[in-house]
Amino acid sequence: MRFSRAIRILDFAAKSALLIAMPHRRPEAPSQKSAPQKRQSFRQRYDELENRRTELSVRLQSLGESARKHPGYKRALTLLNEIYRREKLPQRVAVLQSAAWLIDILEKLASSL
């Protein structure tokens, strides 16, 4: 029983190895990607993230009193300070995106209150 199952699996694998032309499939276009850019140095990436963090901090500080009373304000401060400092460089990008999203919401709430 096991032997016949193995034969069927091998037979299926051999048949599926053949490629069948798909009539309505678009042909693969040659890649038009530009040459890979040189990766930035650690210091450049670090400085860019610090600049972005400073911009977000300024946006957060410019919110009115009604937004400062909102619990999301404290969470945005925590994201920009404690959590940002705790994470490694690649994860800091996601922390800044989260903080930017939260600040956007606080700005919308502040304008509607």
Q: According to the model, what pLDDT value does residue 9 have?
A: 61
Residues 93, 46 contacting (CB under 8 angstroms): no
Read off the pLDDT band of 101 (50, 70, 90). Answer: very high
Instruction: Give the gyration radius of the chain's Cα atoms.
Output: 26
Name the residue type at position 42. F
Q: Is the pLDDT of residue 64 over 80?
A: yes
Q: Is the pLDDT of residue 13 over 60?
A: no
Q: Considering only CA atoms, which of 54, 55, 60, 56 is closest in space to residue 107?
A: 60
Averaged pLDDT for residues 16-23: 56
Q: Is the pLDDT of residue 80 over 80?
A: yes
* pTM exceeds 0.85, yes or no: no
Alpha helices, DSSP H only, in the chain?
2-16, 42-61, 65-68, 71-78, 84-86, 89-112
In this predicted model, what pLDDT tens digit does every residue of 29-50 receive, in sequence order?
666 666 667 788 999 999 999 9
